[in-house]
Amino acid sequence: MKSFALRLVFWQKMYGRHGLPWQTREPYLVWLSEIMLQQTQVATVLDYYPRFVAAFPNVQALAAADEDEVMGLWQGLGYYSRARNLHKAAKQVVTEFAGKFPRSRIELQTLCGVGRSTAAAIAAFCFDARETILDGNVKRVLCRVLALDGHPTNKTFEQLLWRTAESLLPEDAADMPAYIQGLMDLGATVCKRSNPICATCPMSDICLARAQNRICELPRKKTTTTIKNLVLFWLIMRNAEGALFLHKRNAKGIWGGLWCVPCLDSLQQLYELAAEFGLSANELNEGAEISHRLTHRQLQILPFSALINAESSVNSLSIAGKWVLPENLADYGLPRPLHAYLSAAQGNLF
Burial class (CB in 10 A: 0-12, 13-18, 19+), 114: buried
DSSP-based helix, strand, coil % in the chain, nearest 5: 45, 10, 40
- pLDDT reported for residue 312: 53
Partners of residue 66 on adjacent β-strands:
none
Domain with CATH 1.10.340.30 in the chain: 3-211
Could you give the CA distance from residue 68 to residue 328 in angstroms, rounded to a whole number?
Answer: 13
In contact, 189 and 17? CB cutoff 8 Å = yes
- pLDDT reported for residue 188: 96
Residues in the chain, overall count: 350
Instruction: Please report which residue ranges of the chain form alpha helices under DSSP H.
Output: 3-15, 27-36, 42-55, 59-64, 67-74, 81-96, 105-108, 116-127, 136-145, 155-167, 176-185, 208-211, 267-276, 336-345
In contact, 325 and 241? CB cutoff 8 Å = yes
Q: CB neighbours (10 Å) of residue 124? A: 26
- Catalytic residue list contains 171: no
Identify which of 314, 334, 337, 339 has the alpha carbon closest to the alpha carbon of residue 73. Answer: 334
Q: CB neighbours (10 Å) of residue 163? A: 10
- pLDDT reported for residue 309: 79
Give the global pTM.
Answer: 0.86
Q: CB neighbours (10 Å) of residue 39? A: 11
Chunked mean pLDDT (size 10), the chain, 350 residues: 93 97 98 96 96 98 96 93 97 98 98 98 98 96 97 91 98 98 97 96 97 96 82 95 94 92 96 94 94 91 90 70 93 94 73
| Torsional sign, CA 9, 10, 14, 16 | negative
**Residue tagged active-site, from 34, 158, 276, 289:** 34
The DSSP output letter for 285 is E
Q: How far is CA 268 from the centre of its chain?
A: 34
CATH class of domain segment(s) 3-211: mainly alpha
Select from 3.30.70.100, 3.30.390.50, 3.20.20.20, 3.90.79.10 the CATH code of 228-345. Answer: 3.90.79.10
